[in-house]
Amino acid sequence: MNQDIPYDFTIQNLGEGTIDSPLNVSYFTPDDRRILFNIDHRHYADLKSPDQTPLSVEVAGPRAKIFFDPAKTKAAIVTCGGLCPGINDVIRAVVMELYHRYGVANIVGIKYGFQGLIPKYRHEVISLLPDGVKDIHAVGGSILSSSRGRQDIGEMVNALKRMNIDILFCIGGDGTMRAVEFITDEITRRNLNISIIGIPKTIDNDLNLIQKTFGYDTAISEAVKAIECAHVEAKGAPMGIGLVKIMGRQSGHIATGAALALSDVNFVLIPEVPFDLEGESGFFKVLERRLLHRCHCVILIAEGAGQELMHRENDTIETDASGNLRLQDVGPFLKTRIETHFKKNNMEVNLKYIDPSYTIRSVPANASDSIYCGALGQYAVHAGMAGKTGMLVGLMKDEYVHLPLKMVASGAKVNPDGNVWMRVLESTGQPPSMKN
């Protein structure tokens, strides 16, 4: 997060809740229940809200008074961006909470992301009822499908108004949340009573302020399976190398987590720690020493690692439909360069390359993620029914909280000087630096 932007955790409301909640619970969460944002004493004095009170964050949960009348409420759900384990779990949780707990019977799904709100695409809108979603958590992907790319904000708000949507639940990553912020601003400008609630989705686990994003635990579990296969292949031949490429566009959280979950990895290459290939301190020399000493090796590389090496050889820079930098494929690049290097040095290696990225994205959520997704969906419904808007639900300091959209963005990195990376270095035995 840009430190020049002041922290402001004020949550926008459509109006005062005047309707008694239909929930039969033993407690309700008051709006004044908050947790301190920072508990590190060294930095506490530097973190103050605009009115100079200690920074705190609103805790999520059911409110005793709600804004929307359940019998008259129409809710919609949309999923955007890339696939991720757990999307269907979130959809299911939102539908079940709305229908069974609040009595909201009018729930629709917007197909193919924000394209579904643009008339020219002619995507269908589907009804979402408990019978239709009760088993979807066992299936990967999104039953609503998804899409990338920017859409006209005014057209999307027109569609929400035309469809009489009261609450829109948006499941997506950093780009989606930026779009959701613009949608909220346009709704506020028009003075419409439409609640917009975000549920953060990024398998890379790289959102600032969010303790963990859903799909991450499943990604680690699935990555470990690929690493196990790479280890078997590497040990199955003389001078065997198992090379596994894993997700992680701008951060190496999945790679580091998978390496720590399984001690068979010998090298972890991530975007946060640049490396050289050639030279006495470069990766190739370190890899040679490992192979000569142990005769096999497992390398785990995040998809965003080594991009600067490829850009030196190819100056073409492209972006995808959402404006994200289109990464060059580091897996085949590194495979080719390793094989070329050892051939040039008259050393025979047996390299097996594994890319499980799309397999990992498409599997159903594991038990840990499924529990987390269920909680996110439920807390999102509580917020929407209470008239909150322009916010997302997330986990912070083991509490589910409400965060303004403008406060959350991608960019949480693995700290090369932090404890996690130190543990990776201890687990793999790789040198702290492979730069000349």
Residues 261 and 380 in one domain: no
pTM score: 0.92
Residues 202 and 307 in one domain: no
Q: Which two tokens stand for residue 41?
A: 């004493």
> What b-and-e string marks burial along 56-91, b requiring 16 or more CB atoms within 10 Å of the CB?
bbbbbbbbeebbbebeebbbbbbbbbbbbbbbbbbb
Find the helix or strand (DSSP H, E) in which 19 lies: strand 19-20
DSSP result, 167-233 = EEEEEE-HHHHHHHHHHHHHHHHTT---EEEEEE--TT--BTT-S--TTHHHHHHHHHHHHHHHHHH
7-17 confidence digits (pLDDT tens): 889 999 999 99
Residue 347 lies in a domain: yes
- What pLDDT score was predicted for residue 3? 47
Q: Which two tokens stand for residue 2?
A: 């840009």
Residue 121 lies in a domain: yes
Q: What number of residues does the chain have?
A: 436
Residues 247 and 346 in one domain: yes
Is 204 a known active-site residue? yes
**Coil vs helix vs strand at 129:** coil
What CATH number does the domain containing 62 carry?
A: 3.40.50.450
Q: pLDDT tier at 208 (50, 70, 90 boundaries)?
A: confident
22-79 confidence digits (pLDDT tens): 999 989 999 999 998 876 666 666 665 666 677 889 999 999 999 999 999 999 999 9
Residue 269's domain comprises 217-362+416-428
Annotated catalytic residue, options 89, 166, 174, 204? 204
Residues 275 and 377 in one domain: no
In percent, the amount of the chain with pLDDT more than 70 equals 92
pLDDT for residue 2 is more than 50:
no
348-395 confidence digits (pLDDT tens): 999 999 999 999 999 999 999 999 999 999 999 999 999 999 999 999
What CATH number does the domain containing 245 carry?
A: 3.40.50.460
Instruction: Give the residue-averaged pLDDT of 224-247.
Output: 97
Instruction: Give the residue-averaged pLDDT of 220-236.
Output: 97
pLDDT for residue 239 is more than 70:
yes
For residue 399, what are the contacts with CB-CB under 8 A and spacing of at least 6?
A: 35, 59, 60
- What pLDDT score was predicted for residue 47? 62
Q: How many structural domains comprise the chain?
A: 2
- What pLDDT score was predicted for residue 411? 77
